[in-house]
Amino acid sequence: MVDFFKDIQKNNNDFIEYNMYNPFLLKGMEDALKRIIKAINYREKIVLYGFYDVDSITAISLLMLVLKFVNADVEYFIPGELSENRDLVEKDITGHIKYLGPGLIITLGCGTNSFSEVELCKSIGIDVIITDFHKPIKHVPHTIVVNPKQKGCNYPFKELCTCGMTFKLAQAISTYYKMKSVNKYMDLVMIGTIYSKKKIESENKIIVEEGIKQLNCTTNYGICALIKIHNINIINESTVLKLASTVKPTINPVGKMDNAKIVVELFITTEKNRALQISKYLDKELENSI
C-alpha cells in the first residue's frame, strides 16, 4: 500500500479522468482511503451519514453502490427531521447509529463544524471521516477531513457539491481497487450537481456534460424507471432538473421528511421491477403533495 500511495503522489498530475483533477490533491484524501481500506479488510461496518436533499441522496446512493461493489459492510443513515445546519446530531449518534455497531462513519456534505459530535463518536469507539464542502467556522474537528475549503487544502476547484465531493472519494477508492466502472455513476453525480444549483463551471461543467452522456445509456434501474414513468425523451439540464424534482423528499404534517430512504433504495436497487414499483409510488406521492 505504501508503494501505491507513493506512485499516486508522484503521478498526481497524470490522473486524467474526463480532465478532472486528481482526487488525492484533496487534503485528507489519502488518510480517508487508508481508513476505508482498513474498514473493508477488517469487515467493520461503515455508516454513511447524509441528509435528505437530492444532492445528498444521490451522494449516498453513489457511495453505497461503490462500497458494495468492493464488498464493504455498509449502511446509511438520513436524519428524519429538518435541520438548519449540516452538523451531525447527537441524538442520531446515541439513539440510532450507535446500535448499528459501526467502526466508521463517513459524512457526506456535512460535519465540518461538528466538533463535539466527532468527539462523542470517538468516545464510543467510532472513527469519523468528514467529507464536506461547507466553510469551516475556524478550524476542523480532530479527525480525517476531506474538504476543499479547509485550511491547507490546495485543491484547485472549491465549488463541488455533496455528490461531487463523494465522487472524488469514489475515484480514490476506484484507483486502489482498480475499478474500471466508477464512471458509470456519473449520471447520479450529474443529477445531484444540477439540483444543488452550484455554478456549472470547471469540474461541475465536466460532471454535467459527461453525466448527460452517461444518462443516455444508463444502466441504473432507478433512473431508467424514472425516465420511463415521466416520459422523458430528451436528456438535457432542464429535463434532468425535472427528473430530480420528482424524487425530492416531501415534508409531512409533523415536520419530518418523507421518501428520502425510499429514493436511495430506488437508485441502488438491482431489481428492475422493484425500481418501477418505487418510481410509481414516488409519482403518486408527488401528485398527492401538489
The mean per-residue pLDDT over the stretch 219-246 comes to 89
Confidence at residue 286, expressed as pLDDT on a 0 to 100 scale: 66
Confidence at residue 260, expressed as pLDDT on a 0 to 100 scale: 86
The mean per-residue pLDDT over the stretch 192-213 comes to 93
Is residue 255's pLDDT more than 80? no
Q: What is the pLDDT of residues 13-54, one digit of tens each?
A: 445 556 899 999 999 999 999 999 999 999 999 999 998 889
How many domains in the chain? 1
Is residue 57's pLDDT more than 70? yes
Is residue 158's pLDDT more than 80? yes
* Cα 280 from Cα 229, distance rounded (Å): 7
Confidence at residue 83, expressed as pLDDT on a 0 to 100 scale: 64
Confidence at residue 258, expressed as pLDDT on a 0 to 100 scale: 63
Confidence at residue 50, expressed as pLDDT on a 0 to 100 scale: 93
Sign of CA dihedral 38, 149, 68, 181: negative
**CATH number for 130:** 3.90.1640.30
Instruction: Tell which wins on pLDDT, 245 or 147.
Output: 147
Beta-carbon contacts of 266 under 8 Å, excluding residues fewer than 6 positions away, are: 222, 225, 226, 247, 275, 278, 279, 282
In this structure, of 14-18, 68-72, 251-255, 281-285, the range with the lowest mean pLDDT score is 251-255
Confidence at residue 244, expressed as pLDDT on a 0 to 100 scale: 85
Confidence at residue 234, expressed as pLDDT on a 0 to 100 scale: 86
Report the chain's mean pLDDT, rounded to a whole number: 88
Q: Do the beta carbons of residue 26 and residue 84 sit within 8 Å?
A: no
DSSP the chain: -HHHHHHHHHTGGG--BTTBPPGGGSTTHHHHHHHHHHHHHTT-EEEEE--SSHHHHHHHHHHHHHHHHTT-EEEEE--SB--SS----HHHHHHTGGGG-EEEEEEES--TT-HHHHHHHHHTT-EEEEE--SPPSSS--SSEEE-TTSTT---S-----HHHHHHHHHHHHHHHHT-S-GGGGHHHHHHHHHHHT----HHHHHHHHHHHHHHTT---HHHHHHHHHTT--S-SHHHHHHHHHTTPPPB-TTSBBPSHHHHHHHHH---HHHHHHHHHHHHHHHHHH-
Confidence at residue 114, expressed as pLDDT on a 0 to 100 scale: 93
For the chain, what's the residue count?
290
Is residue 254's pLDDT more than 70? no
User: Which domain covers residue 132, as residue numbers?
Assistant: 2-289
